[in-house]
Chains A and B, each alone.
Chain A
Amino acid sequence: MEQPDARNLLETARALLLDSLLPALPAERRLEARMVASAMAIAARAIGAAPARPDAALAAAIRAGALDDDLSLAGQLRLVARARLAISNPRALPAAGS
């Protein structure tokens, strides 16, 4: 594929939108422009991420109470949740190690 790649294109377009177009918009349309910028940022972070594999068996086992005494469960859930958060909203990520 020709360079710049998808991530670079999204980031460059987003910077143009926020730095140049947004200030020129009437106040009541700025929220929409910010939403477009958010969508572009999420899409850029998602490039190259492993596709999500929703775990139906795990969900069913938790619901049935089969993992009530599994001390490693919360840690496992954290691992997946952290990876999802890193794409959707990295600002909400807690500091490393917590």
Chain B
Amino acid sequence: MNALETWLSIAAAAPVRVLSQTRLSGGAIQQNIALEVTRDGAPEAWVLRTDNAATLAVSHGRVEEFALLQAAHEAGVAVAEPLFCCADVSVTGAPFFVMRRVAGSAAGHAITRAAAARGGDPELAADHGRQLARIHRMRAPACLGAPPADSLAGFIAAMRARLDAAGTPRPPLEYGLRMMERRGATPLPPVVCHNDFRTGNTMQHDRRITAVLDWEFAGWGDPHEDLGWFTARCWRFGQVALEAGGIGPMDAFLAGYGAESGWQPDPARVRFWQLGATIRWAVIAADQAARHLSGREPSLELALTGHMVPELEWDVLDQAEALHGAA
């Protein structure tokens, strides 16, 4: 038995043998490894999730992500069942957790192409709304800290701090943030937001969501923040006419949300947070290019992500001017 099998056997309170380990497509931050195991002699399919060498300071670590996954599972959100979590770096070299393997694919472009070929998929859009409504009534794990009094003020301050830390002045993003500051509505009570709920992060099988992925950015926020992120133009994977994530119409998505949550989101507030989403993605994309430019993590993928920023800035100007005109 190797160190991993020994640890898993103690955690599972039954002998665990790892038959195979296969690297799955990982994100820029994490690695996912498919494990075929036997637990007490019976075969099971698991996924081990751990960190890549370089990680973003603004994201939660594996231990916190595991706690979020447990809270999501309890709230009835479609997620891979969380099994065991290991903070001890002596086992594999980095913290990791293990979850049950879920069927499906999260490939964004393939999903939106298929939805567009059907003329849009209102059912799948509504399913995304339902899942998001469940996320917004999750209990908050300790890692989220105390809820902010005003999540919009917190968002604007966080974006400005990241722009300052990056050191490159970006007048279009400042313009967008200032417009949000001027036009912001009365704060709503904050809820647990996923903060990266979008096409490409929802695993699907037979046109139903089987797992919501990538919880490491979760935090307190206005529920419209997640609704705006999912529907922002920059997350429609080429199918810009399908406002709900390149998958289906906005009204089906919001109706799915409303049916599950018991309250109907405000479309103007969703548009307001689409602007926030575009600004945040531009800030993240610029930071990804900075990781390449620093020399610590040379990567053509990160370098090209930086060249997405001008398109996002253009989109920010469009939306900020529309918000200005709508006042």
Residues of A within 8 A of B (CB): 32, 35-36, 38-39, 42, 54-56, 58-60, 62-63, 65, 68, 73-74, 77-78, 80-82, 84-85, 87-89, 92, 94
Whether B310 and A89, one on each chain, are in contact in the complex, defined by CB atoms closer than 8 angstroms, is yes
Cα of A38 to Cα of B178 in the assembled complex, Å = 33
Any A CB within 8 A of the CB of B182: yes
Q: A35-B304, A77-B171 are in contact. Are A65 and B178 (CB under 8 A)?
A: yes
How far, in whole Å, are A84 and B306 apart by their CA atoms in the complex? 12
> Do A39 and B314 touch across chains, with their CB atoms under 8 A apart?
no
Looking across the interface, which residue of chain B has its beta carbon closest to that of A46?
A: B307
Contact of A56 among B160, B169, B314, B320 (CB under 8 A): B169
Q: Across the interface, which residues of B come within 8 angstroms of A58, CB to CB?
A: 169, 171
A87 to B172, CA, bound (A): 17
Contacting residues, chain A, for B324 (C-beta < 8 A): 74
Residues in chain B near residue A81, CB distance under 8 A = 172, 310, 313-314, 317
How many positions in chain B have a CB within 8 Å of any CB in the partner chain? Answer: 27
Q: List 7 A-B contacts (CB under 8 A).
A: A32-B300, A35-B304, A58-B169, A63-B177, A68-B182, A84-B313, A88-B307
Q: Which of B168, B178, B182, B317 has the largest count of A CB atoms less than 10 A from its CB?
A: B178
Residues of B within 8 A of A (CB): 160, 163, 168-172, 174-175, 177-178, 182, 300-301, 303-304, 307-311, 313-314, 317, 320-321, 324
Which residues of chain B are within 8 angstroms of A36 by Cβ–Cβ distance?
300
CB neighbours (8 Å) of B169 from chain A are 54-56, 58-60
Q: State A39–B306 Cα separation when bound (angstroms).
A: 11
B317:A77 contact, CB within 8 angstroms: yes
- Complex contacts, A73 vs chain B, CB 8 Å: 175
Name the B residues within 8 Å of A54 (CB-CB): 168-170
Chain B residues near A60 (CB-CB < 8 A): 169
What is the chain B residue whose CB lies nearest that of A52?
B168
Q: Which of B175, B182, B301 is close to A77, meaning CB atoms less than 8 Å apart?
A: B175
Could you say which of A56, A74, A89, A94 contacts B307, with CB atoms under 8 Å apart? Answer: A89
A68 surroundings in chain B (CB, below 8 A) = 178, 182
Looking across the interface, which residue of chain A has its beta carbon closest to that of B315?
A92
Task: Flag if B174 contacts A84 (CB, 8 Å).
Answer: no
